[in-house]
Homo-oligomer: A and B are copies of this chain.
């Protein structure tokens, strides 16, 4: 069925393209048992009125109700135009010394480039949510704020505050249904709610972690510690010191959300927050501490990293118009930073991404992208190898070995490229450092979605 022609194009001579469609992704939204969700969190997702359609959720509230102190950490976008909710959340974390207990999120409007009014509105969201934590007014806000949607428009703040105030214990929940409603309220161009939860062992004990994220376009996060329209929230019932939580989150973001690319654009609103409330560790007196030599911090950090990689990959799988999920692995770099740079260059190359869409074994484009990275240890073309790795366990295909092109079996190349998932591996031959990136292809559908976003 032909898609609608944007009205602005009707006056042009037109061409009709018939192209493969992005595969349906709804199977990536999975039912998760209630027992996998962390203890001590209450949440909800409602329609507040930011979005027109009253059947669409646009406001999520997440509260920690743990009797123990809740730690919070965040990574924010490094874009110079930080949206009001980014500035407010940064301020809250600083003043509370990492002891925030709530998160309020709206979709449909980014509250970015909205001047003083934007800041007032973001604070109003924080304060209305604070009132759900404690009826008496507090000196310091304990609420982080996130917004996503169109830039340059102000929020319908009265509707949002009214929806937050209408939150009661009757409307809040702690199981799959509540988490799913919250995840739906995060969505913009996402085609499914992005929610994962799991239990994990730490020492002799079992804890739980759950996470929500959203984003399908303007995805090329570059987030740093207290400085990340990719939004994400992870919550665990382990007990972690605030500074250790920030350290683990920064490490995990670098290897997850900072290692994905849909279109190479960095948003004004990218934010990832983490909460650790200790509600699953009632008999443990001490919080996980990076300074202690008991291996607990590293175990938690690595668990968090794996979990966040899964969440980040959902964004790539739901990339606007994406038909492929491609892992870019760079090995043999002199430093992690160099490996990350090469992987980023390949992942963001429009020529590599269109070749992947066309299922064209054009390794020359992979190489051109590799060579354009400015590295601290210069590339030696005679040491570089490129292979395609199928994800079905069958044999890999070498395309370039030590700078010399292989005679490529095109039929085998087509076979590997026809799969939805594949890996492109680049060996630099300069050292022992590796980095991975996850990216998608560039399709007609991407152009349609983004050429006609606001209408």
- Residues of A near any B CB (own CB < 8 A): 1-3, 5-6, 8-9, 11-21, 23, 78-82, 110, 112-115, 150-153, 217-218, 222, 263-268, 323, 348-351, 354-355, 357-360, 362-365, 367-373, 375, 378-379, 381, 384, 400, 403-405, 414, 417-418, 442-448, 450-455
Contact = CB atoms under 8 A, between A and B. Distances in A.
How many copies the complex holds: the figure is: 2
A217 B351 contact: yes
A12 B20 contact: yes
Given A378-B80, A405-B113, A358 B8 contact: yes
A453 B357 CA distance: 11
A14 B5 contact: no
22 contacts: A2-B16, A5-B18, A9-B19, A9-B359, A12-B20, A14-B20, A15-B444, A80-B373, A80-B379, A81-B381, A82-B381, A113-B381, A113-B405, A114-B405, A218-B365, A218-B368, A266-B368, A358-B452, A360-B451, A360-B453, A360-B454, A444-B448
Contacts of A152: 363-364, 367, 400, 405
Contacts of A5: 18-19
A134 B384 CA distance: 40
A455 B265 contact: no
A14 to B, nearest CB: 5
B450 A354 contact: yes
A417 B11 CA distance: 13
Given A17-B444, A151-B368, 18 more contacts: A9-B19, A12-B323, A16-B18, A78-B372, A79-B372, A81-B371, A82-B381, A113-B367, A113-B403, A152-B364, A264-B349, A265-B368, A266-B371, A268-B368, A355-B450, A358-B455, A442-B447, A443-B447
